[in-house]
Chains A and B, each alone.
Chain A
Amino acid sequence: MQRDTTKKYYVLHSWVGALTAILLFVIAFTGAVSVFGRGELKVWANPEIRDYQQHDFAAIEQLVKKHAEKVGPEYWDHIEVFLPGPHGNSQLAIIFENEIIEDGVHRHDVVWFDHHPTNLSLLKERQGDFRELLDTRRTDMADFIVGFHADLHLGSPLGLILTGLLGLTLFASVITGLFIHPKILKDLFVFRPWRSLRLLFTDTHKVLGVWGLLFHGVIGFTGAFLGLATVVLIPVAALVSFEGDQERLVETFLPEVEPVITEVSTDMRFADTLSQLEMNEPELIIGRFTLYGWGDEGAVMALSTLGSGKLSGETLEFSAVTGDFINRYTNFGRLEGVSKYVLDAMAPLHFGNFAGVWVKGLWFFLGLSTALVAATGMMIWIERRAFGAEGSLSLKSYQWISRLTAGACGGIVAATSSLFSAQLILYVLGMHYGNLTSVIGLIFFGVFSVSLVWSVFRGNAYQVTKDLLIVSGLLLLFALVFNGVATGDWIVNSISDSRWITVGVDIALLVFGVGLIVAGLYLPAQRPQRERMSQDKKIFLAKEKPKHAESEVELV
């Protein structure tokens, strides 16, 4: 009975894994890179903000006042300011919003001003629906990779549901994996890479899977929540309790800042408050702030911050007139009970952006291990069927699956590597001020498609992997050199100018570029034959011989 149940869980684990492994690799790999998307890659992708030092709040205050006068009081409901710099935005954006509710439908009419990040000159002024303008905002490779990780650029709801479900399947695989491996303590310390290919895959899968168990489980659970919350949980809850009005539901649990309007007009003075805060709490990162009740004595400024020592980001409220402190709370800190701690932890634990760049690095490598768990799981599945007793298809069919797996996994690495050069080429061509999602997408999916086609025509999965690793390494090294030529930011120059983020990304390009090329050169060009035969002989003694074992010559 127990044996049968374990077998059922094993079948579930292997089939859920096999059906989702490639997609899981894609999501996990791009997720690992996305850890640096909001910050480090953003800075590298936008040479204008590489040496951004600090915000000129006085100048920003003057710009907000000038634009507020121009757009008029109807757009003073919320004034949102996205600050430029290393922590998220490539330019200064000032957005004036007029919220209109018609027949229970919320419409956000906005006037949007984009300014150069350093000289603050006006780059663009737009007016229209907030969501439509959001789709045409300036984007870059960092936004592309983060967006791809979130919804595969399939949009909402399809993309989010897909990635949310993948999170659930990862979580399910972690749970089923927990009890199909009876000797889990042994699995923590056993790694026999030289005995046979199958043991190499199996041991790698177990070592990465068991050591990273909590991480994989947390990433799966938080990923499922973040993917499904906005497209399933909130709409369903709104349908049940708020007649489908999702914004009313959100505002009920997370009420917006409500300034006490006094009807006494006065001058807004928020620059000093921001400068003072930056001086008093230098570790605090201010990404954006919103002004409520503009022009009134009761106006409030709410700052969205990171780096306060808490797991989650914090909102700080000040008077936009006197600068008096009003309130400080985490994103979900105003909820009752334990739920606020759980909800506050979801996004930071998924993205690893809660304690600086070193934790981001930790999350990056652990994210890569999640991708490798998926890839090695798929290889085990193929090995056991192509060369073990479990296969029911022909050897050729498994070779096809093997090649396509290598093409897809290697292809996503090559496609991601190509983004760095693509971004710089667009910068040199002067095309970097627009929404680059389509152009970058064309390059990204182009490289990915070519990799897949290449995998079909190339001899075998090992050769495909070898080729794609070398190509990815070359692409990263090309980006490094091209960056030096196009922007003058060679590593030595960046060090002397103290552009540490650029230095960090450049060193990562160098290390991973060389690492991928060395790995590609070191890998065998085909499946090791002698090891396979000796291992297979052992297995055949214990199990039924597979139908195609007689005819197999080599996995090419």
Chain B
Amino acid sequence: MSITLGVIAILLAVTGLLAFISTRSNTLRQQLVRRVGGVLGLVISLLILSRLSGLQQAPFIWVGIISLVGMLTVLVQGLNQGLKR
């Protein structure tokens, strides 16, 4: 049961992420469904993983770390490239 739920959660996370970042051109409604659905998929998979792991905080901490590290990396890299020029 746990393994099945774990696999579903990971699939949901991957498809959610793909749906979210996809740049395929389509109608606005499809785009809306894809993005909101993607975010929902990610959130639901996080909740499932947190329940399964017994470490309820862990997925939220990881999301926080990825967000912060991502934004800092891009900002620092951009500033650095500009300085080199």
Does B23 interact with chain A (Cβ within 8 Å)? yes
Chain B proximity of A373: nearest CB distance (Å): 10
Does B3 interact with chain A (Cβ within 8 Å)? no
Does A246 interact with chain B (Cβ within 8 Å)? no
With CB as the reference atom, state the residue of chain A lying closest to B43.
Answer: A214
Q: A1-33, CB under 8 A of B: which get 1 and which 0?
A: 010011000000000000000000000000000
Which of A354-362, A394-402, A414-422 forms contacts with chain B?
A: A354-362
Q: B55 and A309: CB pair below 8 A?
A: yes
Question: Complex Cα distance A188/B66, Å?
Answer: 12
Question: Complex Cα distance A208/B78, Å?
Answer: 13
Q: B39 and A211: CB pair below 8 A?
A: no
Q: Which residues of B contact A175 (CB under 8 A)?
A: 36
Q: B78 and A192: CB pair below 8 A?
A: yes
Question: Complex Cα distance A144/B75, Å?
Answer: 33
Q: Which residues of A contact B61 (CB under 8 A)?
A: 355, 359, 362
Assuming the contacts A2-B28, A193-B82, A362-B65, asked whether A213 and B39 have C-beta atoms less than 8 A apart, the reply is: yes
Q: B21 and A212: CB pair below 8 A?
A: no
Q: A191 and B75: CB pair below 8 A?
A: yes
**Interface class of chain A by DSSP:** helix
Which of A66-74, A178-186, A233-241 forms contacts with chain B?
A: A178-186
Does A253 interact with chain B (Cβ within 8 Å)? no
Chain A: interface residue total (CB-CB under 8 A): 43
Does A204 interact with chain B (Cβ within 8 Å)? yes
Q: B42 and A214: CB pair below 8 A?
A: yes
Q: B58-70, CB under 8 A of A: which get 1 and which 0?
A: 0011011101101
- Near A by CB (< 8 A), chain B positions 31-70 give 31-32, 35-36, 39, 42-43, 47, 50-51, 55-57, 60-61, 63-65, 67-68, 70
Q: A188 and B70: CB pair below 8 A?
A: yes
Chain B: interface residue total (CB-CB under 8 A): 34
- Near B by CB (< 8 A), chain A positions 289-333 give 309-311
Contact of A191 among B31, B35, B50, B74 (CB under 8 A): B74
Q: Which of B42, B50, B60 has the most CB of A within 10 A?
A: B60
Q: B57 and A354: CB pair below 8 A?
A: yes
Question: Complex Cα distance A34/B39, Å?
Answer: 27
Assuming the contacts A185-B21, A193-B82, A310-B56, asked whether A362 and B74 have C-beta atoms less than 8 A apart, the reply is: no
Assuming the contacts A2-B27, A193-B82, asked whether A366 and B68 have C-beta atoms less than 8 A apart, the reply is: yes
With CB as the reference atom, state the residue of chain B lying closest to A214.
Answer: B63
Q: B78 and A203: CB pair below 8 A?
A: yes
Q: A5 and B35: CB pair below 8 A?
A: no
Q: B39 and A212: CB pair below 8 A?
A: no
Contact of A184 among B21, B77, B82 (CB under 8 A): B21
Assuming the contacts A179-B35, A214-B43, asked whether A208 and B71 have C-beta atoms less than 8 A apart, the reply is: yes
Assuming the contacts A189-B74, A362-B64, A366-B64, asked whether A194 and B57 have C-beta atoms less than 8 A apart, the reply is: no
Question: Complex Cα distance A3/B77, Å?
Answer: 33
- Near B by CB (< 8 A), chain A positions 49-90 give none
Q: Which residues of A contact B36 (CB under 8 A)?
A: 175, 178
- Near B by CB (< 8 A), chain A positions 344-392 give 348-349, 352, 354-355, 359, 362-363, 365-366, 369
Q: B23 and A185: CB pair below 8 A?
A: yes
Assuming the contacts A211-B71, A369-B71, asked whether A179 and B64 have C-beta atoms less than 8 A apart, the reply is: no
Q: Which residues of B contact A309 (CB under 8 A)?
A: 55-57
Question: Complex Cα distance A178/B28, Å?
Answer: 11
Q: A207 and B75: CB pair below 8 A?
A: yes
Q: Which residues of A contact B60 (CB under 8 A)?
A: 311, 349, 354
Q: A179 and B28: CB pair below 8 A?
A: yes
Q: Which residues of A contact B79 (CB under 8 A)?
A: 191, 193
Q: Which of B23, B32, B57 has the most CB of A within 10 A?
A: B57
Q: B71 and A212: CB pair below 8 A?
A: yes
Add 8 more A-B contacts to A183-B23, A190-B74 (CB < 8 A).
A2-B27, A188-B74, A192-B82, A309-B56, A310-B57, A354-B56, A362-B68, A369-B67
B interface residue numbers (CB < 8 A to A): 20-21, 23, 27-28, 31-32, 35-36, 39, 42-43, 47, 50-51, 55-57, 60-61, 63-65, 67-68, 70-71, 74-75, 77-79, 82, 85
A-B contact list, 15 entries, CB within 8 Å: A179-B28, A183-B23, A184-B20, A193-B79, A204-B75, A212-B68, A215-B63, A310-B57, A311-B57, A341-B47, A355-B57, A359-B57, A359-B64, A365-B68, A369-B67
A interface residue numbers (CB < 8 A to B): 2, 5-6, 175, 178-179, 182-186, 188-194, 203-204, 207-208, 211-215, 217, 309-311, 341, 348-349, 352, 354-355, 359, 362-363, 365-366, 369
